[in-house]
């Protein structure tokens, strides 16, 4: 008696058997929309995507900053354009993506980096503080996930990368609402990965540790605070924005063709060790 047939095997992407190893991280012929491209991590990621061959649309609430990054890419021989977008406005996000598709015929990669933090104890938090943080970090990320998902599931391909944080895993005093939004992003990413995956769309999150950016400027200006955070990493230092490019490009590229629904921590070992004490005899 023959055993019942197993589930039908879905073929792997056609490029999985022909991909040249050195091309795993290349983004040639792809179109990438980088939100938050005007500064910090978003700027570094936009430059990195362009360096790896993608047409890069630099999107930011600050139109001049986005345009300046696009001009840098063009000056280096890359293909880029820019536009202003406020991710708190779902219609603006949808139009930004539609404009890219009209101009280039496709939208392969979307990376979303913007967030804000109001550092206060819970008892000092106002409703306005709460609304500001949730509106950008959580609702904004939702708008990007939903609108990118609509485009990419229709074209049956694409990669979405949303920036979360180590605060999705660990918290400290004054980080309540920010941490809640970053944990919420991870759960939305997981749900989107489950829903978009059958259409060939991958969705992942990056979780940075402490990175020197405009968002963290109030901390880096305080030497005691800066040094305390540096000590939490096993490298005893902060990350640069450029160090977030590699993890992001991995998730965006075909190198991660079987990776979806993940939180990729780029935290210098912060969440792997408490970083507070090395027992006697344990120093290398």
Active-site residues, by number, are 178
CA atoms within 13 A on the CB side of 1: 2
CB–CB of 109/103 below 8 Å? no
Distance CA 83, CA 183 (A): 29
Distance CA 226, CA 222 (A): 6
Distance CA 131, CA 200 (A): 34
Q: Tokens at residue 267, please? A: 């935290």
* Integer angstrom CA distances of residue 155 from 27, 47, 106, 223, 243: 18, 25, 8, 49, 31
CB–CB of 76/55 below 8 Å? no
CB–CB of 85/93 below 8 Å? yes
Distance CA 45, CA 8 (A): 38
CB–CB of 124/113 below 8 Å? no
Residue position matching structure tokens 């991870």: 186
């Amino acid at each position: 008696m023959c055993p019942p047939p197993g589930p039908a095997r879905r073929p792997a992407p056609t490029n999985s058997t022909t991909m040249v190893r050195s091309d795993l991280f290349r983004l040639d012929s792809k179109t990438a929309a980088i939100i938050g491209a005007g500064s910090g991590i978003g700027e570094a990621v936009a430059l990195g995507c362009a360096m790896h061959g993608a047409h890069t649309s630099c999107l930011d609430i600050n139109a001049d900053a986005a345009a300046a990054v696009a001009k840098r890419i063009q000056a280096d021989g890359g293909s880029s354009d820019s536009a202003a977008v406020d991710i708190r406005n779902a219609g603006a996000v949808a139009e930004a993506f539609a404009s890219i598709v009209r101009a280039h015929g496709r939208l392969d990669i979307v990376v979303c980096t913007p967030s804000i933090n109001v550092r206060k104890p819970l008892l000092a938090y106002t409703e306005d503080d709460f609304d500001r943080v949730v509106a950008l970090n959580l609702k904004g990320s939702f708008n990007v996930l939903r609108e990118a998902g609509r485009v990419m599931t229709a074209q049956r391909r694409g990669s979405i990368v949303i920036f979360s944080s180590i605060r999705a895993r660990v918290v400290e005093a004054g980080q309540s609402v920010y941490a809640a939004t970053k944990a919420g992003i991870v759960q939305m990413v997981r749900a989107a990965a489950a829903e978009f995956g059958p259409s060939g769309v991958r969705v992942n999150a990056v979780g940075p540790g402490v990175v020197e950016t405009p968002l963290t400027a109030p901390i880096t200006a305080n030497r005691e605070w800066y040094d305390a955070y540096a000590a939490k990493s096993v490298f005893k230092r902060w990350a640069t924005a450029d160090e977030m490019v590699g993890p992001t490009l991995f998730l965006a590229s075909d190198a991660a063709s079987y990776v979806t629904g993940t939180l990729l921590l780029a935290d210098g070992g912060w969440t792997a060790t408490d970083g507070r004490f090395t027992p006697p005899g344990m120093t290398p």
